[in-house]
Chain A
């Protein structure tokens, strides 16, 4: 594992059809770093993840993951997609979902194998999900499903973790648990983490840097540099204010022109079904 250079983006432009979602993004991520990717809907957060996974070819610019192309780096990247509940009667247990993360791209039948089972057991234990790993996945709560998702992403000790809204639909106590699991894993393995989220407060204690995207342009830096009234107002091109209340940071509109730009931060789990389609559709967040 190299000590740095997990992700290298230079002058990246990416989008769907004629719509450019990310414009001239430069970013370097080192191992052991946790980066929060913030921004309103449609600002390019999921697009960035898709580029790093090799699911979307950039229109121009440089993308390197672990020193090679995103596709070549796939085996070393863990990914938690945006949460999409499982059908209650889906015939799949948590353990099998986790195992597919390791073996799902191999042909053949999913016969149980001792070596695979050991690795899967260890990943499940690491997120504290051992007790409910044999329950059908659709019967589990959102928090329990998310733990198994993270166990799946941690398999094979990835050098880069891409998490797309892992805190969505979780209550604050479960959010804190998920954040603690990610932080512990980062400390133990020095993996780099890109954490896409709307809600910065739960992860603020563990975040090293912030990438704040608005309409494809980014402000990048330490939280205290980026999350300021000045930086965000210039990024949004409209007056927004960063307030601190009860130890939490709030980004609020300074006037009418800004309130539309901030978007509806807490309503998007309604939209998260279509955007991963092959041809992209609308580039939500």
Chain B
């Protein structure tokens, strides 16, 4: 079967819709993840969605719902434990270790088909049902809406926390809300690339975008575009008559784009430095 035949099949259509939604949400949160140095939080939330999925399987035979509820619970716990970077990293480590242990215990109590749980580790984008697509649409809309509302105060709180607090921005509350949004987004993304590879959508495109653009909004837009290219490009390649899993292509393209941005980065920054030197030498210190 070629690409065009595949595209007429529901599983491929579902995969592309899901991939697009996930790319948009990951691309949106990515720049804030990079700015707030929360890469480890992404990794922690992703791995802990395995525990949530295992709990969901045992309790209600529903790994996705379990992962979602689990990720919000974890975000709440981490939010209460502290929002300062150093504190945060160690509390994530502690919760992550305990959570994974719990996940293994839950899985050992589960008598059903274990693939349902391992799918969440590596992603199962070609196994997405119509109801899951509908859930994803809802989540993506929610995440986009919340990010649209908190974007400016979150940016303020991320780059300039002291002044933001002095201006009445609820920096602590914003930190917790962003952690929730992050956890939900990461849990969604886990269905495409798996919990182990979520970083390739939630961080890599944003890290690449930051090397190319200099203003917050352009970085966000670039990050979304790069995430879309990686996800949809990876899915289409995987459907073009190969037996290689899409995860490989998605992470590969994402990493390739990052490499290109890194290579272009020094040239761009040299140009900016030259311009700055020119500005300075033109008087008015």
List A residues at the B interface (Cβ < 8 Å).
53-55, 71, 74, 77, 79, 81-82, 84, 86, 89-93, 96-97, 100-101, 103-111, 128, 130-132, 135-136, 139-140, 143, 152, 177, 274, 276-278
Contacts and interface: CB of A to CB of B under 8 A. Distances in A.
B272 A135 contact: yes
A109 B148 contact: yes
B280 A55 contact: no
B141 to A, nearest CB: 16
B276 A101 contact: no
Interface stretch (B62-70, B95-103, B162-170, B189-197): B162-170
Nearest to A274: B84
B259 interface: no
Contacts of A89: 210-211
A110 B284 CA distance: 29
B282 A108 contact: no
6 contacts: A81-B163, A81-B166, A104-B153, A104-B156, A109-B217, A278-B171
B168 A74 contact: yes
Given A93-B214, A131-B282, A104 B162 contact: no
Contact of B273 (A111, A132, A139): A139
B167 A104 contact: yes
Contacts of B152: 100, 103-104, 106-110
B248 interface: no
Main secondary structure on B side of the interface with A: helix
Interface string B203-215: 0000001110111
A77 B167 CA distance: 9
Across the A-B interface, the 9 shortest Cβ-Cβ residue pairs = A104-B156, A81-B162, A91-B219, A53-B166, A100-B156, A105-B167, A276-B162, A79-B166, A136-B214
B44 to A, nearest CB: 22
Nearest to B212: A91
Contacts of B167: 74, 79, 101, 104-105
Contacts of A53: 165-166
B245 interface: no
B169 A104 contact: yes
B88 interface: no
A132 B280 contact: yes
B155 A100 contact: yes
Contacts of A107: 149-153
A91 B280 contact: no
Contacts of B216: 91-92, 96, 110
B35 interface: yes
B149 A97 contact: no
Nearest to A147: B285
Interface string B72-91: 00000000000110000000
Contacts of B84: 274, 277
Given A89-B210, A135-B272, A74 B166 contact: yes
A130 B279 CA distance: 10
Nearest to A88: B269
B31 A139 contact: no
B159 interface: yes
Interface in B162-186: 162-169, 171-172
Contacts of A152: 163
A131 B284 contact: yes
Given A92-B159, A92-B214, A105-B169, 10 more contacts: A55-B166, A74-B166, A74-B167, A91-B35, A97-B159, A97-B160, A100-B152, A104-B155, A128-B284, A274-B84
B151 to A, nearest CB: 5
Contacts of A91: 31, 35, 209-210, 213-216, 218-219
A119 to B, nearest CB: 15
B109 interface: no
Given A91-B210, A135-B272, A105 B279 contact: no
B148 A135 contact: no
A135 B210 contact: no
B274 to A, nearest CB: 11
B272 to A, nearest CB: 7
Contacts of B148: 108-109
A274 B84 CA distance: 9
Residue among A74, A100, A277 having the largest count of chain B Cβ atoms under 10 Å: A100
A72 B187 CA distance: 41
Given A108-B148, A108-B152, A79 B163 contact: yes
B206 to A, nearest CB: 10
A110 B210 contact: no
Contacts of A143: 285
A97 B215 CA distance: 10
Contacts of A110: 151-152, 155, 216-217
Contact of A100 (B149, B160, B168, B276): B160
Contacts of B150: 107
A86 B35 CA distance: 11
Contacts of A81: 160, 162-163, 166
A13 B168 CA distance: 23
Nearest to A162: B166
